[in-house]
Structure 1
Amino acid sequence: MVTSLAGTQKNGAAEAPPGNPLHDRSPEPPRRRRIRPERVGLYGLLVAAALTALFPLLWMLSGSLQTQDELLSGDHFLPNVPHWQNYVTAWTDGDLGTYLSNSVFYTLTAVLGILVVSSMAGYVLARVEFWGKGFITFVILAVMIIPAPAMFLAQYRLLLDLQLTNSRLGYILILITSGIPMATLIMRSFFVSQPRELEESAALDGASPLRIFASIILPLARPGLAAVAVIQGLHAWNEYLMALVLFDDNGLMPIQRGLTSFNSAETPQQQVLLAATVISVVPVIVFYLLAQRNIVNGLGAGALK
């Protein structure tokens, strides 16, 4: 008897009667976030800026699928019939396969060298205290102020003395040395914003400085490394002036040399030039889309201090 009453009381406490309002209450639907009136103008401005930035890309893609008469007439933004032959002509007549492979090799090698040097240099400037540290940082800033064309003569003279003119190695070294100053400052800012506790704990466990840098610091610095890789990758991919000065062999030229093949006053081929430009920017866009989250995180973390 006592057991049944206890069970009844227990069940009654656990389950509310059907008429109980608590039992019949359904979950509230999620509330929609209201857009405040003062943000409408901001959102409209951002949308307008995005469309302004995307319009040249859309026009380039549309023009690459038009015939020369359609492109020069300017009557239609979209082609009547997509003319895919422009891409075939750009790839075969412009020898874009050779130029594109050269640019991929130069960019990947240069970015790898910049990441190795700038990560170590940035870590030393952020963590190690030594005499002349402020002066070295000032020199790096001063080098960044000098325009790249102003250093061409000195760089070419140095490569000439080293017998590295008209060579892939000489061009890659120029790309690496040109990107190290900015990349070093970005990595230094990123390392300064990171706490020291993990490094101190690893040092107490007996890890060497090289082990701490390779096993702890570099994995944490992945967003910063991605930001540097994209920034310096774009610089290396778009570089053309030094290649024009350094190379005598067209087989060593980057992709920008292939674009100039269709820029002729005698035989204008603007539609083929646009197709070649689309081909040249596709690798950059794909790489940026894959690394954009790390870019934002890296630049944001580096801007904290």
Structure 2
Amino acid sequence: MKGLASRGGLYGLLVLAAVGALFPMVWLLIGSLQTSSELYRGKDLLPAKPQWSNYVTAWTDGDLGTYLPNSMIYTVSAVVGILVVSSLAGYALARIEFRGKAAVTFALLAVMIIPAPASFIAQYKLMVMLGLTNSRLGYVLILISAGIPISALIMRGFFANLPKDLEEAAAIDGSSALNTFARVILPLARPGLIAVAVIQGLAVWNEYLLALVLFDDDTLMPVQRGLMNFVSAETPVQNILLAATAISVLPVVVFYVFAQRQVVQGISSGAVK
């Protein structure tokens, strides 16, 4: 009986935590369907008449048809690049013994401490030298470099937990190191790869400050630029802003719903030792 009560209390806490986590999203959806007067009044739990036109206004006035595809291109390109580099780097750190290995690991940890805006000037100068300012390629390359340290350490921890017998058996069968990595090790690292993809996908999707520094062409900006069209001290349109925000987070929410189990497994298996 005591065990049942403690389990019920645990479930109750989990339900409260879930409600607390979902409340901002529910409030976002309700507010996006209200009129401005209903939203500012703050007394109506549900809209008297759902204003689906708010989403049409958000899409057209926010030019989300331009900015949303930009964010998708940047996110997919950067995440693919991060996965390729971090998986190779993580495998090398977990399996290959070389001089300076500890220093490389420490350097990756040290880079993570530096705030991203502190490196904007150096990154901008580098893009100027390479002729990649105001270009999608330059922006994606910086996003990849920013995501590699934590991703490589996550993959390092994940690869370190895999038994070495798999690689030894593949070597006996005549498989090369690269072939073993691609055909044997990498498929087993799927949860870790998905965890990295979600973590870095969220980071890239929410990035905006670097885009302001690097881009002069407004048509290259990510989706956050469209949200800024509805932020004004003189004439705020919060209900339209909420609708635009709902549109902007939809791709991330859908991806996370399908990948949440692998995310938890990948993070727990790839914890940095």
Shorter-chain TM-score bucket reads over 0.9
> 1:18-29, aligned counterparts within 5 Å?
none
Q: Which amino acid aligns with 1:234?
A: L
Quote how far apart the aligned CAs of 1:181 are.
0.2
Match of 2:15 in 1: 47
> 1:116-127, aligned counterparts within 5 Å?
116-127=84-95
Percent of aligned positions that are identical: 66
Distance 2:15 2:2 in 1: 18
One of 156, 171, 177 as aligned partner of 1:209 = 177
TM-score for both structures, normalised by structure 1: 0.87
Match of 2:37 in 1: 69
Determine helix, strand or coil for the equivalent of 1:78. coil
Matched, 1:229 2:197: yes
Alpha-carbon RMSD across the aligned residues, in angstroms, is: 1.3
Write the deviation string for residues 261-284 of structure 1: whole angstroms up to 9, x where unpaired: 000122211100000000001000
Match of 2:268 in 1: 300
The answer as to whether partners of 1:94 and 1:258 remain within 8 angstroms in 2 is yes
Matched, 1:253 2:221: yes
Structure 1: runs of 5+ lacking an equivalent = 1-32
Q: How many residues align?
A: 273
Match of 1:57 in 2: 25
Distance 1:50 1:121 in 2: 36
Distance 2:271 2:125 in 1: 37
Match of 1:101 in 2: 69
Match of 2:125 in 1: 157
Quote how far apart the aligned CAs of 1:37 are.
1.4
Distance 1:302 1:285 in 2: 23
The answer as to whether partners of 1:65 and 1:79 remain within 8 angstroms in 2 is yes
Distance 1:158 1:135 in 2: 25
Match of 1:279 in 2: 247
The answer as to whether partners of 1:59 and 1:77 remain within 8 angstroms in 2 is no
Q: Which amino acid aligns with 2:75?
A: T
TM-score for both structures, normalised by structure 2: 0.97
Match of 1:240 in 2: 208
One of 95, 98, 109 as aligned partner of 1:141 = 109
**Compared with structure 1, are the counterparts of its residues 87 and 150 closer, same or farther at alpha carbon in structure 2 (3 Å cutoff)?**
same
Distance 1:187 1:231 in 2: 13
Q: Which amino acid aligns with 2:51?
A: H
Determine helix, strand or coil for the equivalent of 1:81. coil
**Compared with structure 1, are the counterparts of its residues 239 and 304 closer, same or farther at alpha carbon in structure 2 (3 Å cutoff)?**
closer
Write the deviation string for residues 118-144 of structure 1: whole angstroms up to 9, x where unpaired: 000000000000111001000000000
Structure 2: runs of 5+ lacking an equivalent = none
Determine helix, strand or coil for the equivalent of 2:20. helix
Q: Which amino acid aligns with 2:169?
A: S
Quote how far apart the aligned CAs of 1:303 are.
3.1
